[in-house]
Chain A
């Protein structure tokens, strides 16, 4: 065989495998090019989304009430783990978890497990420094409330998945969440990122600014907690509103529950604080003269056969102002007879009762206010002093704010979005509201509301003490009361409307004037100091023991209606 032939055969033999290889290459590169490219792309490229941190919630002055902070979750990939006991020994003290617990997790079935979630930066750093095999860190986010329990019924709570479950966290979910950023990541064989492109810009939401004032909120919560200590009540609510704008400055519930806001979601029978509605209707329609008197009926008045309305003390003849001062049920029932159901209902509706206020919180109740024309004489009389109907604390606060500011009902504002206050309607003439405001000042100066007095300042307000309806017997309880006080200060130029409601006080007294009014006064004093408001009345001595005793006498609560023979 000559050299040329041998060379040809050798070449042919060595090149022979190239044929199938070329065919295979052509098959892969030409026919399956697209599918394989995609697969290769998938191996090394990945689309990831980076969630925007949930927006901060701040008070009216920009002080943080809720914030999302980055946290880390520590995980274990057990595939290469050799010594679970060592893992427990090393990480237990760092993660503050019992070493045995970590070891148990490491020995459990499954390749992956979380060792601990929501760890802070120093802990994450310590975990990294420990260099424990098969342990990794992944970033996450946690919602924190730097002021702890402050305003939690308003703020609400965020679930483990980062979604709002109650309060503003729920109602403002869309606003707080923002938009996640999408990233295109190129990774190496070990999954480490080499390069990343921003595929879609995210949106970090701006802080949500509230009308709540952190300091006012603290003052209210502290006063409520002190009241709870003094009177051992089952629960208590208090709120502060700026009557000039309708802005809610504080909203507190005791005991605090972040899952529920009773000031918005619950309704209660208001008792005597509702007498202002009857009085307003009478004054607005000029149905009662300033000097006109109504008989006190010696403390018992049979309104219908077998039905008696009682006052605790026999009262003499009273003007409308004195009826409010002494919180006389008989007096106000006589006034409502003259007012009539239609005018009374109109006044109640004008003040916002029976209608949702529109506050941006979930689960708001409208209360229960049926047309009074359906009630009959007895029902109408009971309604005139706040029985047989229910209102939400927020409605009551708004109504008193309308009386404080001269007669304009504002939508309660909780979000400070820079827009002008929303006027709902004019509730009555300036004359009528002014007249009623003077009567409510007299309630604090001479009547049942004396414990709400603040030396040097003019205060207006009304007490309320209502027996609770027993849901089982459908009768009014002889032991359980709701004590309340609603009012505003300083009366010369109202800046704060304050509502205090105490549910079932069990220690000491149960009268609104003696349980709720002192809480009101405490809040009022602190607010006046906080804002350094100049006194609007010459200094005078604080109410003496005699005045408190008088308050106790006139604030006593007879049953709303007494039926003969029952």
Chain B
């Protein structure tokens, strides 16, 4: 059989296309596996984040804080032991300024 140059080129291009499509399919499948694996990793990481968040919430729950305060010998103050200073707006002193920068939920738990 004799093929002219044009026919040979057509076969060549056709063959290349078939090979390319095969390669593309295999690559897509391989990527699919990697994406599925990455999704699982994301899910696990989310699970880890949620577990840690839960631990933070549990650690900052009023019951846990009260227990810790009790261990350190702290007792709740009576209202008449407070002195409300007139005319002072916003945080005063280095500790309150520091606490004002602490993110939620740490700040909210501490402020309570």
Contacts and interface: CB of A to CB of B under 8 A. Distances in A.
Given A67-B54, A69-B51, A121-B48, A529 B61 contact: no
Given A63-B109, A69-B51, A150 B43 contact: no
Interface in A194-232: 194-196, 214-215, 217-218, 222
B48 A148 contact: no
Interface in B1-48: 28-29, 32-33, 35-36, 43-44, 46-48
Interface string A528-544: 11101111000100000
Interface string A63-77: 110010111100000
Contacts of B82: 529, 532
A146 interface: yes
A533 B28 CA distance: 66
Contacts of A378: none
Nearest to A533: B79
Contact of A120 (B46, B51, B53): B51
Interface stretch (A79-87, A264-272, A451-459): A451-459
Interface residues of B, number: 34
Contacts of B80: 455-456, 535, 539
A124 B112 CA distance: 35
B58 interface: yes
Given A147-B61, A193-B32, A194-B29, A69 B54 contact: yes
B84 A534 contact: yes
A305 B13 CA distance: 117
Given A67-B54, A69-B51, A193-B36, A457 B61 contact: no
A529 B43 contact: no
Interface in B46-81: 46-48, 50-51, 53-54, 57-58, 61-63, 66, 76-81
A125 to B, nearest CB: 7
B108 interface: yes
Contact of A529 (B32, B53, B79, B108): B79
Nearest to B52: A121
Contacts of A533: 79
B79 A150 contact: no
Given A525-B78, A529-B76, A535-B80, A139 B43 contact: yes
Given A70-B50, A122-B51, A146-B61, A457 B79 contact: yes
Given A124-B47, A125-B44, A194-B33, A147 B78 contact: no
Given A63-B57, A215-B62, 12 more contacts: A67-B50, A67-B53, A69-B50, A121-B48, A144-B54, A146-B61, A147-B57, A192-B36, A193-B32, A194-B29, A218-B66, A526-B76
26 contacts: A62-B108, A63-B108, A67-B54, A69-B54, A121-B47, A121-B50, A124-B47, A139-B47, A146-B54, A147-B62, A147-B63, A193-B36, A194-B28, A194-B29, A194-B36, A195-B32, A214-B62, A215-B62, A218-B66, A222-B66, A456-B79, A456-B80, A457-B79, A525-B79, A529-B78, A534-B84
Interface of A: 61-64, 67, 69-72, 120-122, 124-125, 139, 144, 146-148, 150, 186, 188, 192-196, 214-215, 217-218, 222, 454-457, 525-526, 528-530, 532-535, 539
